[in-house]
Amino acid sequence: MKSWQRVAVPSLDAMGHGTGERPSVHDVRRDGRAVVPAGRVASMYTCGITPYDATHLGHAFTYLAFDTLTRVWLDAGIEVRTAMNSTDVDDPLLERAARDGVGWRELADRQQRLFRGDMESLRILPPDAWVAVTERIQPIAEAVRRMLDTGDAYTLPAADAVGEGAVDVLFDTTKHRQFPVGAGSRTDQAEMLALTREFGGDPDRPGKRSPLDPLLWRAERPGEPAWDSPVGRGRPGWHVECTAIAMEELGAPFTVAAGGRDLRFPHQEMQGHHALALGAPMFSDVRLNAGLVAFEGEKMSKSLGNLVLVSRLLEDGARPEALRLALLDHHWRQDWEWFPEQLEAAEQRLDRWLAWSTTPDDDPSLSESIVPWLRVTLADDLHTPAALQAVDTFILRAPADEGSLAAIDALLGIDLRSVRAR
Ligand SMILES: [Zn+2]
């Protein structure tokens, strides 16, 4: 699928190869810090949107967190490859399309276009591969077939499906693997069960080997989209989609499995187990979870109807750079609540930075550079609030030199010169 347009990321070193530090980030699986990548090459898979509620501030905050990680990697001279999916066929999308009387493909296309535009406005670097699930039905089905062959999956009759003898395929979480289910996301049994229920996992279905077993393949139901495949006519389950796409694009283990904290269980946990079942030694080296954004006291979500959309804020006159600053003013792992005053404060901060950017650097030989300040704060678990404060302090004591302007662009994604030129 066509990704969005990539903005240029200036190099901060005269020779063009990055000399920044590799970042230390908080890994969910270790529940501690890890310097990533171990070597000079990094790969990252980010769970993408289900295109029916794009793009709210929670999405923007998540993708901005991993955009920051990518920028820090590039500055450290790391070779980076990234992939992301779009869950363009799934229950919530189908339900929304039915409710609104539109085709599910039409709804997905429209939301994906909106998302693409929002990501471009916010200057979020696009993934090297942005893959729609509907583009990869056959490889996903093939992964499910392999899990049936190895005994990692089993079938259950699907009485309400189209056709005689149709079956759903489920993943067997009771089978012994390298680590028990829940260990990777640091989740206990009661919480796992509650989250399985919350995320549509149908724990009470008769015949399941464990209530936690997720669906790998759903046989065709009347009125639902379905594809012919080696495991019957139907459509894939949510976790195996991401597993198959990530492994196809990046191999396994790749460096970082990334997503919002609400994906910690079951989604990312099951990806990890699916990958083991498919023969990978590990799905990813580390697992990163961005914090969740609340509005009016609740996590922002379509079902609660408390969405703040990026497109709406921009239509109402917010500058995208100010919105970016408002989001970067929260640490990527923190849960936080959105208040409109945060955007006002960010607009004022942007104005201060813009005013500074025009101060002449009369004697470049005397000037300081913001580069080390930004590198230090961001290498420390991507501490963007500290990086913004570093700029606030820096602009009070030094003129605007070319290197600092480039660093604010490369590492924070704010190109003050282009904002001024508008
Ligand atoms: Zn995913």
The span from the CA of 7 to the CA of 4, in Å, is 10
CA of 392 to the centre of ligand 1 (A): 36
Cα torsion 244, 245, 246, 249: sign: positive
When pLDDT is cut at 50, 70 and 90, the band that residue 15 belongs to is low
Mean pLDDT of 402-422: 95
pLDDT at 367: 74
pLDDT at 101: 96
CA distances from 8 to 92, 231, 354, 364, 410 (A): 36, 44, 20, 25, 8
The span from the CA of 350 to the CA of 120, in Å, is 19
Strands 336-337 and 293-295: parallel
The secondary structure of residue 380, as a DSSP letter, is B
Domains of the chain: 24-295 (3.40.50.620), 319-421 (1.20.120.640)
The span from the CA of 49 to the CA of 58, in Å, is 11
The DSSP H or E segment spanning 323 is helix 320-328
- Give the gyration radius of the chain's Cα atoms: 23
Helix, strand, coil percentages (3-state) for the chain, rounded to 5, are 40, 15, 40
CA of 245 to the centre of ligand 1 (A): 9
Mean pLDDT of 334-345: 97
CA of 89 to the centre of ligand 1 (A): 13
pLDDT at 249: 98
CA of 55 to the centre of ligand 1 (A): 16
When pLDDT is cut at 50, 70 and 90, the band that residue 422 belongs to is confident
When pLDDT is cut at 50, 70 and 90, the band that residue 97 belongs to is very high
CA of 415 to the centre of ligand 1 (A): 31
CA of 411 to the centre of ligand 1 (A): 26
Token readout for 372 is 């080390």
The span from the CA of 350 to the CA of 214, in Å, is 46
CA of 239 to the centre of ligand 1 (A): 6
- Residue 370, SS3? coil
CA of 240 to the centre of ligand 1 (A): 8
Mean pLDDT of 92-96: 94
Per-residue pLDDT of 183-217, as tens digits, reads 999 999 999 999 999 998 999 999 999 999 999 99
Q: For 175, phi and psi rounded to 5 degrees?
A: -65, 140
CA of 257 to the centre of ligand 1 (A): 9
Mean pLDDT of 353-371: 86
Mean per-residue pLDDT over the chain, rounded:
95
- Residue 243, SS3? helix
Mean pLDDT of 258-271: 97
What share of the chain in percent tops pLDDT 70? 99
- Report the half-sphere exposure of 420 (CA within 13 A, side-chain side): 12
Mean pLDDT of 55-82: 97
CA of 49 to the centre of ligand 1 (A): 8
> By the 8 A CB rule, do 245 and 136 touch?
yes
- Has residue 303 got a pLDDT over 80? no
Per-residue pLDDT of 216-239, as tens digits, reads 999 999 999 999 999 999 999 999
- Has residue 369 got a pLDDT over 70? yes
When pLDDT is cut at 50, 70 and 90, the band that residue 175 belongs to is very high
CA of 199 to the centre of ligand 1 (A): 13
CA of 267 to the centre of ligand 1 (A): 6
CA of 394 to the centre of ligand 1 (A): 39
CA of 242 to the centre of ligand 1 (A): 5
CA of 223 to the centre of ligand 1 (A): 25
The span from the CA of 179 to the CA of 282, in Å, is 11
Per-residue pLDDT of 33-59, as tens digits, reads 999 999 999 999 999 999 998 899 999
CA of 140 to the centre of ligand 1 (A): 13
- Report the half-sphere exposure of 193 (CA within 13 A, side-chain side): 7
CA of 216 to the centre of ligand 1 (A): 13
CA distances from 282 to 35, 86, 251, 256, 340 (A): 18, 23, 10, 11, 42
230-264 burial code (b ≥16 CB/10 A, e <16): ebbebbbbbbbbbbbbbbbbbebbbbbbbbbbbbb
Strands of the sheet with 254-260, listed across from one edge: 129-132, 79-86, 41-46, 254-260, 284-290
pLDDT at 16: 67
